[in-house]
Amino acid sequence: MNSPLRIDVITVIPDMLQGFLETSMMKLAVERGAVRFRVVDLKDFGQDARKTTDDRPFGGGPGMIQKPEPWTDAIEAVRTPESRVILMTPSGRTFRQAEARRLAGMTHLVFVCGHYEGVDERVRQRLVTDELSIGDYVLTNGALPAAVVMDAVVRLLPGTLGGGEIATEDESFSQPLLEYPQYTRPAVFRGMQVPEVLLGGDHAKVAAWHRNQMLDRTARRRPDLLEGEVDAPGKEKRK
């Protein structure tokens, strides 16, 4: 059996992650030996009696900046030569499914979850290996974005979902197209009928219907993803 992926999360508000890491898929992943979590309280590395982790910014400006000393000590306490130290920041590259797959293949992830106006720049320059953003908006802290990334990564680990690759290979962004519509019983609900093709048992027709639905949904919602799709609606096949 493969060694579990180790994930350390450093944050000034560890309680925010407690319920998330102890329920549902995360709990199952731990029980199945796919991942091992540790939440590190940044305040434990504060260097004064008040365990201070932030201070006013040089040059003025609003808000508070997280100090370099606690962050440096915390990161150096958990990282190893193979660690990826990931800073969650609005200025990072946008997190996508391909990145989730890359991180799922690592052995140790350390999430740097800033707070207030962010982390002292020297921490990023000296210790951070990856900078990620979950979208073009700003949140109060990095714990919630880290949780999003962890969810996307952990569900890809072997054994987590119980079905291996089959459970994830047809999902949106696991391939260039959005996922097709899904239905379950009853076949008719409040006058809405499940498409007949899904009830007939012809696997070839179902596969063709899935493909057409994926193309149609992607063309309407995310046409940017259709680049290179030769049979996309309204596009000619490339020579």
pLDDT in tens, 122-159: 999 999 999 999 999 989 899 999 999 999 999 999 98
| Angle value at C-alpha 126, between 124 and 129, nearest 5 degrees | 65
Residue with the bigger pLDDT between 176 and 225: it is: 225
- pTM (whole model) above 0.85: no
Asked whether the beta carbons of 119 and 94 are under 8 A apart, the reply is no
Tens of pLDDT, residue by residue over 173-185, are 456 789 999 999 9
Tokens of 17: 């992650």
Task: Classify 226 as helix, strand or coil.
Answer: helix
Residue with the bigger pLDDT between 18 and 78: it is: 78
Distance, in Å, from the CA atom of 90 to the CA atom of 142, rounded to the nearest integer, reads 9
pLDDT at 87 over 80: yes
Asked whether the beta carbons of 42 and 145 are under 8 A apart, the reply is no
CATH H-level, domain 170-226: superfamily: tRNA(m1g37)methyltransferase, domain 2 (1.10.1270.20)
Which CATH number applies to 5-163?
3.40.1280.10
Domain ranges of the chain: 5-163, 170-226
Distance, in Å, from the CA atom of 91 to the CA atom of 140, rounded to the nearest integer, reads 14
Distance, in Å, from the CA atom of 143 to the CA atom of 145, rounded to the nearest integer, reads 6
pLDDT for residue 235: 52
pLDDT at 239 over 90: no
Q: Across residues 79-108, what is the average pLDDT? A: 96
Identity of the residue numbered 56:
R
Contacts of residue 126, Cβ cutoff 8 Å, sequence gap at least 6:
72
Contacts of residue 35, Cβ cutoff 8 Å, sequence gap at least 6:
4, 5, 6, 7, 26, 29, 154, 157, 160
Question: Which of these, 40, 195, 66, lies nearest to 119 by C-alpha position?
Answer: 66
